[in-house]
Chain A
Amino acid sequence: MSATTWGALVVALVMMTGLVPGSRAGAQRAAAPAGTAAPSRFVDATTAAKIAFVHDWGATPNKRILETLGSGVAWLDYDNDGFEDLFFVNGAPGSASALYHNNHDGTFSNVTAQAGVGGMTPKTSGVYRYGVAVGDFDNNGFLDLYVTAFGANTLLRNNGNGTFSDVSAAAGVAGPSSDWSTSAGFVDIDRDGDLDLYVANYLTFRTADDPFCGLHKEGYRMYCGPTIFDGQADRLYRNNGNGTFTDISRAAGIANPAGKGLGVAFCDVDGDANVDIYVANDQVRNFLYRNNGDGTFKDIAYGAGVGFSTDGKPQGSMGVDCADIDGNGLPDIFVTNFEDELNSVYRNLGGGAFQDVSASIGLRTGFGPVGFGAKLFDMDNDGDLDLVITNGHVIDNVPLYRPASTFAQRNLLYENVGGRFLDVSDRSGPPFTARHVGRGLAVADFDNDGDLDVVISNQGEAPILLKNQSAATNHWITLRARGTKSNRFGLGTHVEVEAGGKRQVADVNNAASYLSGNDIRIHVGVGAAIVIDRITLRWPSGRAQTLTNIKPNQILTVDEP
């Protein structure tokens, strides 16, 4: 339920120290009017950042569908030094995931071994790894990792000293080895101050089941699609507050075996202060679980109109995000889809109703490629949400069947111009003209320079770190919520930022995109405003607070009152 009173203001303003040279923190520069910023430009900073990770997708001649999903990537400040570190999931059995520590100078160091997060399984294990979720499940002030798999999932508890411990079994969140888990996220569904865990599951796949798809002809075998496999029910684990979880999937009403979940996002679509859950399913309708506030959910996708394409057909949905695109104060839903399908935008009209505006909002260029990871983010700090999408086909030999299609595909960058998206990929730097097999995608301001950067995990390739080098004309604010009664990182906190006569809303929520985790901090561009009039926060506990006259261009840590 919504808070009825606003609490006293308790603010801990922490100016981040040790910023990289050229940081715009505290800068008071002339800025372009909102919505008219110069084109953003991204550079590939992967090599300069010393990121050497290469994804292993475990391709085999048998073309098992397990090989096609790629793996995710997550930003997390695991050591609380104020800079976002990077965790890459690796896919194939026998491969190791990787944790990179942010050195604060634009480079990263591989600390996988000392952190104990590689999680390498034997090649014969048959375990493929996919997604990653980030959250502080034990409220010890350090972010933990949850890695999903075809096989047992892994919960890695952050010990607070640079190391992690596998507590999956003790915590009760490993799941059955028959589960094929994909995207996951930490979310406080019952607002009791600890983080619960939602895990999307994809298909019921039997290791011995090896159907042949494609022409019976040398080189023509292709990956099967999901249609010939059964779905698999997602799982929801309630945090017991003592380091263990209880699987409440059935009781909560989310154990729908029809689902073929690939993406999951959390947002409060109806403004009742309870976090709702949207699940992107592959080739079956998507789910929107409205949180009833009593530990149960109701799938309202049919009534809300967010389960299908405009013509009422299920789509091959992969990635998802949830944020206020049109500035009406309500979170909209964005979903990436398969080729020959528009990516979907469901505009939140309020009252539990959505309007499918996919065909009219400017996403035409997303019709051809196969969309995976995606994030709504204000790339140019002009006060509205832009959009980045990574693409890549799932069939490696697709040109044999469809000469116009390619396995590797271009990523897409859209600028929000007056509530419509404009494809600016061609003028946003080489990373948006090169072709890769994109899968996971996550956004963070990794160098704390005041603009949001992007990392993309490619299937069977090195990832790409896209450093945002947009013109530094607009202003911004980054908020790090620190819960006291609420969960420690304030996940689920509703934030409103008023500046320059404009009000923006956002929720603290790092679970979105595809298999990936984003910066847990909120980043809001405020355009030309040189002062932020008001920031209001509604914490999951129900407590509220208001900050006034805030200087932009800084990273603020806000403690729950």
Chain B
Amino acid sequence: MIVAVLGARRLILSHFPRFRVPESLTPQRTRRHHRLSRTQMGRLDFTAVIWLVAGLTPSAALCAPALATTAQVAPAQPSVEERLKRVAADLFVRMDRIGDAIRELQAILAIDPRSAQAHMLLGNAYVGEGAPERKGEAIAEFRQALEIDPSLVAARFYMADVYLDLGRTDMARDELQLALSQAPGQPQFTALLGEAERRLGHAPRSVELIRQALQADPSLTEARYHLSLALLDLGQHADAIREMEQLVQSGVDIPDVQLTLGTAYVDAGRLDAAVTTLTRAASLAPARPDIRIQLARGYRLKGLLREADAQLALLPAPGSALMIQNPVAYQRLSVARGLELGELRMAQGRLLEATTAFTKALEADPEQGRTHERLAEVYLRRGEYRLALDHAVRAAVLGVPLAADRRLLLDQKIAAPGGSK
């Protein structure tokens, strides 16, 4: 059930400000922040948790009628407990009925405001809505559930999951550690703790935890994906690719996995596989700009510049709405778009346009070393050595120096008569 409930998550929000993000916006995500849609993947990963919470057996829950048919089948007013079971089942099997579930849970809470399960399920329903502004309310419901019933360890787990989405990784870790102290060895909790550790920069610990979880329960598909991310963080690209390939071969077919795998292929120089995988990702999520950008990169590196151009042409310019609503996503998207467009224009020999694109990326985030490095390169090619030097220096400060041979060339040009241009 929770698998389904959490499925609509699209945004990874590091420090979400007080603005709303329309659901239609799908900002770029970095590999470090990739999360899975649990609607499509690992649907059963967390069912044990919810059966436990709702006091159901899987068969009983799956047999419970959907809300829409409840009134027809059972005209007598069901008990609160019965209604909770039905909502729990509905949340698992009917993602399209989240609104009904929320109304039903609110009605239940009007009768019994101290129902910990109702609060927890309502929190799950809010998360399932996918609206970022609901995440705070979801946490509030989980908190209230735990205040009423501190033993409701699943609420702690779901809350941790929302914290991860909100970029409050340390808080997620704290909750998961607490959850594990209440339910030692629970593989779902251990796996998510592994992901939290990865985001905190502890990739080795992450791998250790996730492998431990997978040993206990090899069917945890999301954990397997998180393991591949941790391996990527450790630089073990081949192992990461192998994990993701196994996922895809097992039938997992969701944009995040395809995007991460495709990006890993690009990085590994396996460009045919990259284009195939990223094309699949784009077909699954046509509006995702991060996928288009990676696909354009794949085409460009294959020398298919026209196809790369076509992918970038599909990208809308990042709107001011996104800047308001999710500055972090806006910044990432703007930088990635500017960098890829600049690279493409350089490859096309259109250096002025490349300069413009890189400059736009720099406007979005002046502290990106990679952008300074590319601007240094393009100015070097244009013979604007002084500007090239300025950006090269800045790039070096930011940890992305020009390649040694290019820097040597630049220094020679600067030193040459008229090189101060």
A302 touches B110 (CB 8 A): yes
- When C-beta atoms are compared, the residue in chain A nearest to B18 turns out to be A225
- Residues of B contacting A260 with CB < 8 Å? 136, 140
A225 touches B324 (CB 8 A): no
Q: Which of A46-54, A142-150, A210-218, A537-545 contacts B (4 or more CB under 8 A)?
A: A210-218
A222 touches B136 (CB 8 A): no
Q: Mark A206-233, 1 if CB is under 8 A from B, else 0.
A: 0000011111111010111111101101
Q: Which of B42-50, B101-109, B182-190, B263-271 contacts A (4 or more CB under 8 A)?
A: B101-109
- The verdict on A215 contacting B365 (CB below 8 Å), with A283-B137, A316-B18 known, is yes
Interface presence of A255 (CB below 8 A): yes
Cα separation A226 to B103 with both chains bound (whole Å): 25
Main secondary structure of the interface of A (DSSP, over half): loop
- Residues of A contacting B103 with CB < 8 Å? 312
Q: Which of B4-12, B163-171, B289-297, B378-386 contacts A (4 or more CB under 8 A)?
A: B163-171
- The smallest beta-carbon distance between A158 and chain B, in angstroms, is 36
- The verdict on A284 contacting B327 (CB below 8 Å), with A211-B15, A228-B168, A230-B143 known, is no
Cα separation A395 to B324 with both chains bound (whole Å): 11
- Residues of A contacting B286 with CB < 8 Å? none
A228 touches B110 (CB 8 A): no
Interface size of A by CB at 8 A reads 43
Cα separation A214 to B15 with both chains bound (whole Å): 8
Interface presence of B141 (CB below 8 A): yes
A284 touches B15 (CB 8 A): no
- The smallest beta-carbon distance between A124 and chain B, in angstroms, is 25
Cα separation A325 to B246 with both chains bound (whole Å): 65
B18 touches A227 (CB 8 A): yes
- When C-beta atoms are compared, the residue in chain B nearest to A259 turns out to be B140
Cα separation A314 to B109 with both chains bound (whole Å): 16
Cα separation A259 to B166 with both chains bound (whole Å): 18
Interface presence of B147 (CB below 8 A): yes
- Residues of B contacting A126 with CB < 8 Å? none
Cα separation A317 to B330 with both chains bound (whole Å): 27
Cα separation A216 to B332 with both chains bound (whole Å): 10
- Residues of B contacting A395 with CB < 8 Å? 17-18
Q: Mark B135-161, 1 if CB is under 8 A from A, else 0.
A: 111011101101100000000000000
B18 touches A394 (CB 8 A): yes
- The verdict on A231 contacting B365 (CB below 8 Å), with A216-B331, A224-B15, A394-B18 known, is no
A338 touches B143 (CB 8 A): no
Interface residue from B110, B144, B327 paired with A300 (Cβ < 8 Å): B110
- Residues of A contacting B102 with CB < 8 Å? 312
- Residues of B contacting A255 with CB < 8 Å? 147
- Residues of B contacting A298 with CB < 8 Å? 113
Cα separation A340 to B21 with both chains bound (whole Å): 13
- Residues of B contacting A300 with CB < 8 Å? 110, 113
Cα separation A226 to B102 with both chains bound (whole Å): 23
Cα separation A80 to B107 with both chains bound (whole Å): 49
Cα separation A222 to B366 with both chains bound (whole Å): 17
Interface residue from A223, A284, A302, A340 paired with B109 (Cβ < 8 Å): A302
- The smallest beta-carbon distance between A225 and chain B, in angstroms, is 3
Which of A226, A260, A302 is most buried by chain B, counting CB atoms within 10 A of its CB?
A302
- The smallest beta-carbon distance between A154 and chain B, in angstroms, is 28
B327 touches A402 (CB 8 A): no
- The verdict on A302 contacting B17 (CB below 8 Å), with A227-B136, A258-B143, A283-B133 known, is no
B18 touches A338 (CB 8 A): yes
- The smallest beta-carbon distance between A66 and chain B, in angstroms, is 15
A302 touches B106 (CB 8 A): yes
Interface presence of A256 (CB below 8 A): yes
The total of Cβ contacts below 8 Å across the A-B interface reads 121
Interface residue from A227, A313, A402 paired with B324 (Cβ < 8 Å): A402
- Residues of B contacting A235 with CB < 8 Å? none
Interface residue from B143, B166, B171 paired with A257 (Cβ < 8 Å): B143
- When C-beta atoms are compared, the residue in chain A nearest to B330 turns out to be A215
- The verdict on A225 contacting B16 (CB below 8 Å), with A312-B102, A312-B106 known, is yes
Cα separation A297 to B51 with both chains bound (whole Å): 32
- The smallest beta-carbon distance between A355 and chain B, in angstroms, is 15
Cα separation A224 to B19 with both chains bound (whole Å): 10
- The smallest beta-carbon distance between B259 and chain A, in angstroms, is 23
Interface presence of B208 (CB below 8 A): no
- When C-beta atoms are compared, the residue in chain A nearest to B331 turns out to be A215
Q: How large is the interface on B (under 10, 10 to 19, 20 to 34, 35 or more residues)?
A: 35 or more
- Residues of B contacting A314 with CB < 8 Å? 133-134, 136-137, 140
Cα separation A312 to B327 with both chains bound (whole Å): 27
Q: Mark A260-292, 1 if CB is under 8 A from B, else 0.
A: 100000000000000000000001110000000
- Residues of B contacting A6 with CB < 8 Å? none
Interface presence of B404 (CB below 8 A): no
- The verdict on A256 contacting B144 (CB below 8 Å), with A217-B365, A340-B20, A394-B18 known, is yes
Interface residues of B in 262-305 (CB under 8 A from A): none
Cα separation A231 to B20 with both chains bound (whole Å): 19
Cα separation A216 to B167 with both chains bound (whole Å): 16
A284 touches B330 (CB 8 A): no
Cα separation A285 to B136 with both chains bound (whole Å): 10
- The verdict on A228 contacting B15 (CB below 8 Å), with A216-B365, A302-B109 known, is yes
- When C-beta atoms are compared, the residue in chain B nearest to A307 turns out to be B106
Interface presence of B62 (CB below 8 A): no
Interface residue from B18, B107, B137, B320 paired with A285 (Cβ < 8 Å): B137
Interface presence of B411 (CB below 8 A): no
Interface residue from B135, B143, B327 paired with A401 (Cβ < 8 Å): B327
Cα separation A263 to B419 with both chains bound (whole Å): 66
B113 touches A302 (CB 8 A): yes
Interface presence of A560 (CB below 8 A): no
- Residues of B contacting A224 with CB < 8 Å? 15, 17-18
Interface presence of A303 (CB below 8 A): yes
- When C-beta atoms are compared, the residue in chain A nearest to B366 turns out to be A217
- The smallest beta-carbon distance between A205 and chain B, in angstroms, is 12
Cα separation A299 to B139 with both chains bound (whole Å): 18
- Residues of B contacting A285 with CB < 8 Å? 137, 140
B136 touches A212 (CB 8 A): no
Q: Mark B77-108, 1 if CB is under 8 A from A, else 0.
A: 00000000000000000000000001100110
Interface presence of B323 (CB below 8 A): yes
Interface residues of B in 335-378 (CB under 8 A from A): 364-367
- Residues of A contacting B365 with CB < 8 Å? 215-217
Cα separation A257 to B330 with both chains bound (whole Å): 32
- Residues of A contacting B366 with CB < 8 Å? 217-218
B140 touches A231 (CB 8 A): yes
- When C-beta atoms are compared, the residue in chain A nearest to B110 turns out to be A303
Cα separation A226 to B137 with both chains bound (whole Å): 11
- The smallest beta-carbon distance between A527 and chain B, in angstroms, is 39
- When C-beta atoms are compared, the residue in chain A nearest to B118 turns out to be A302
Cα separation A284 to B126 with both chains bound (whole Å): 12
- When C-beta atoms are compared, the residue in chain A nearest to B168 turns out to be A228
Interface residue from A212, A303, A340 paired with B15 (Cβ < 8 Å): A212
B323 touches A215 (CB 8 A): yes
Cα separation A524 to B18 with both chains bound (whole Å): 39
- Residues of B contacting A212 with CB < 8 Å? 15
Interface presence of B416 (CB below 8 A): no
B327 touches A213 (CB 8 A): yes
- When C-beta atoms are compared, the residue in chain B nearest to A212 turns out to be B15
**What are the nearest 6 A-B pairs in CB distance?**
A225-B18, A303-B110, A258-B140, A227-B136, A284-B140, A302-B110
Q: Contacts A225-B16, A303-B109 known; list 14 others, CB within 8 Å.
A: A211-B168, A213-B15, A213-B16, A213-B17, A215-B327, A228-B136, A228-B166, A228-B168, A257-B144, A260-B136, A303-B113, A314-B136, A394-B18, A401-B327
Residues of A within 8 A of B (CB): 211-218, 220, 222-228, 230-231, 233, 255-260, 283-285, 298-300, 302-303, 312-314, 316, 338, 340, 394-395, 401-402
- What are 10 sample pairs from A and B whose C-beta atoms fall under 8 A apart? A214-B327, A217-B364, A227-B135, A228-B16, A300-B110, A300-B113, A302-B110, A302-B113, A314-B133, A401-B19
